[in-house]
Structure 1
Amino acid sequence: MIRIAVANQKGGVGKTTTAINLATALAATGWKVLLIDLDPQGNASTGLGVHQSERARSSYELLTGDCTLDEAVIATKVPRLDLIAATVDLSGAEIELVEYEERTHRLDKALNGASERWDICLIDCPPSLGLLTINAMVGARSLLVPLQCEFFALEGLSQLLNTVERIRARFNPELSILGVALTMYDRRNNLTEQVAEDVRACLGNVVFDTVIPRNVRLSEAPSYGVPALIYDIRCAGSEAYMGLARELIGRLPLKAKAVAA
């Protein structure tokens, strides 16, 4: 199973929107997808229409070892897309996990014991570089970074990249950066164009060609409990995420793509 963490310690960059719609786009192409909501806010779970009453077992119980991955899985409204939901209990996990043995490898162990039901797993991380995000990076094999097209876009990115290097050196030598996705792109704004140029000049081919535009439909969809690709498949945001999914698949190693085929 291919494992990708969707992470950025900066909030409001479209991370959860990217995780939800990218997972839906991959499912639409025929892939069997698992989305793990590792953010205590649980926005990915809400955005997929999974209510609090349906979250009897969540990513919190998965990390603490109170349930297996298969026991925590919830089928969503999207064909071929399953979810491990998040609850507010995760907010205390950062402290609780300190007492656990191999606290940085809790998610990795859970994923290693998973069945072969899924081709790919996306992990929606909280907006921080705490223990939950570290668990995601240790459990993942690749990292996708949503980056908002604003003046402070690159601020903090170096910290994230340094964290990736430390994780690679100490815990997970397989971790690599799959790509950086520019989000909230507004062609009418000259600053947006300048920021995009600066990011590409700094990071080069790491940045995906596909950009995610500012789009009202992307903002509206979560309130209806469905991804934008279901809410309005013809909107600019949905088309962009379909393009990003195709580009992401093209970047996966041939071996990984063969496993998922």
Structure 2
Amino acid sequence: MAKILTITNQKGGVGKTTTCVNLAASLAATKKRVLLVDLDPQGNASMGSGVDKHTLENTVYEVLTDKVKIHEAILKDTPAGYDIIGSNGDLTAAEVELLQIPRREFRLKMALMEVDDEYDYVLIDNPPSLNLLTVNALASSAGVIIPMQCEYYALEGISALIGTIEKINKRLNPNLKIEGILRTMFDPRMSLTKDVSTHLVEYFGDKVYRTVIPRNVRLAEAPSHGLPALLYDKNSRGAVAYLALAGELIRRTKLEEKETSQEA
């Protein structure tokens, strides 16, 4: 059974897509079967995975609106090393069309059920807003990874996101939880960074990943080459950090599975 994780933050520019692409590549490098779902009409996760969004025949838009089955939209053997369902500007039309479809909040969930046994992890990249696409992602997922910068306004934004997650949990997906808080663009030389980081750990405890993602030029350069940082420069600080995050995620998953089996 795949572990489905939404990577989201209603605040833009926090490293959401960077995290989705690089975590997918790092998990794939550990021999995990990974599917990345690009649910952002900008298609940045697709382009950053070496997929030309302009030439896609079938995208997540066609899947959500029942124009094709999910297997027809999955791109295998991508340069990034994991499978992907791509996205482009066509997805902007999906929200309007979804309004006319029954159980519109569960379109992605129903599609992913068809490939549940084919992957270890499904990572969903989202637009930086709360809309019907994001609701579909949250309704499909077991957990939410929240990338955030350690700055004042980020603290305000995360409280709004937590409120959204709680509402989805009560109304659409009782299994949804916060998987982890990821500190991105981390600069330990800044006192504000350290202060906000301390507050996060005090409030969220072990929900905060021990791994931090540093500010790193290679992470910023890699998307323009259509590659995750691990394939662009595997020795870069950014690539090493995302490998560490993948290891931390895998260890958490194994611990959860062990606890679940003991309860059963």
TM-score w.r.t. the length of structure 1 is: 0.94
The residue that corresponds to 1:77 in the other structure is 79
The residue that corresponds to 2:90 in the other structure is 89
Q: How does 1:130-169 map to 2 (within 5 A)?
A: 130-169=131-170
Partners of 2:156 and 2:96 lie apart in 1 by 27
State the 1:233 CA deviation: 0.7
The residue that corresponds to 2:101 in the other structure is 100
Aligned-residue CA RMSD (Å): 1.6
State the 1:257 CA deviation: 11
User: What's the secondary structure of 2:115's corresponding residue?
Assistant: coil
Kindly provide the CA deviation profile for residues 197-244 of structure 1, in whole angstroms up to 9, marking residues without a partner as x: 122122221110110000000000000000001101111111110111
State the 1:95 CA deviation: 2.2
State the 1:92 CA deviation: 2.3
Q: Does 1:254 align with 2:252?
A: no
Contact (CA 8 Å) 1:2, 1:256: kept in 2 or not?
Answer: no
User: What's the secondary structure of 1:36's corresponding residue?
Assistant: strand
Partners of 1:86 and 1:39 lie apart in 2 by 7
Kindly provide the CA deviation profile for residues 95-115 of structure 1, in whole angstroms up to 9, marking residues without a partner as x: 221111101000000011226
User: What's the secondary structure of 2:93's corresponding residue?
Assistant: helix
Question: Is the deviation greater in 64-73 or in 106-115?
Answer: 106-115
Partners of 1:224 and 1:255 lie apart in 2 by 40
The residue that corresponds to 1:232 in the other structure is 233
Structure 1 residues 157 and 113 mapped into 2: Cα distance closer, same or farther (>3 Å)?
A: same
Partners of 2:226 and 2:50 lie apart in 1 by 4
The residue that corresponds to 1:22 in the other structure is 23
User: What's the secondary structure of 1:211's corresponding residue?
Assistant: strand
Which amino acid counterpart does residue 78 of structure 1 have in structure 2? A
Partners of 1:256 and 1:27 lie apart in 2 by 25
Q: Could you tell me which runs of 5 or more consecutive residues in structure 1 were left unpaired when the two chains were aligned.
A: none
Structure 1 residues 139 and 256 mapped into 2: Cα distance closer, same or farther (>3 Å)?
A: farther
- State the identity %: 48
Structure 1 residues 141 and 196 mapped into 2: Cα distance closer, same or farther (>3 Å)?
A: same
State the 1:116 CA deviation: 2.8
TM-score w.r.t. the length of structure 2 is: 0.93
State the 1:28 CA deviation: 0.3
The residue that corresponds to 1:31 in the other structure is 32
Contact (CA 8 Å) 1:221, 1:228: kept in 2 or not?
Answer: yes
Partners of 1:218 and 1:67 lie apart in 2 by 34
Which amino acid counterpart does residue 3 of structure 2 have in structure 1? I
Which amino acid counterpart does residue 37 of structure 1 have in structure 2? D
Contact (CA 8 Å) 1:178, 1:251: kept in 2 or not?
Answer: no
User: What's the secondary structure of 2:154's corresponding residue?
Assistant: coil
Contact (CA 8 Å) 2:11, 2:154: kept in 1 or not?
Answer: no
Partners of 2:42 and 2:225 lie apart in 1 by 17
Question: Is the deviation greater in 6-15 or in 92-101?
Answer: 92-101
Partners of 1:92 and 1:200 lie apart in 2 by 40
Contact (CA 8 Å) 2:146, 2:180: kept in 1 or not?
Answer: yes
User: What's the secondary structure of 1:234's corresponding residue?
Assistant: coil
Question: Is the deviation greater in 44-53 or in 98-107?
Answer: 44-53
State the 1:188 CA deviation: 2.0
Partners of 1:61 and 1:134 lie apart in 2 by 18
Partners of 1:234 and 1:210 lie apart in 2 by 16
Contact (CA 8 Å) 1:3, 1:141: kept in 2 or not?
Answer: yes
User: What's the secondary structure of 1:116's corresponding residue?
Assistant: helix
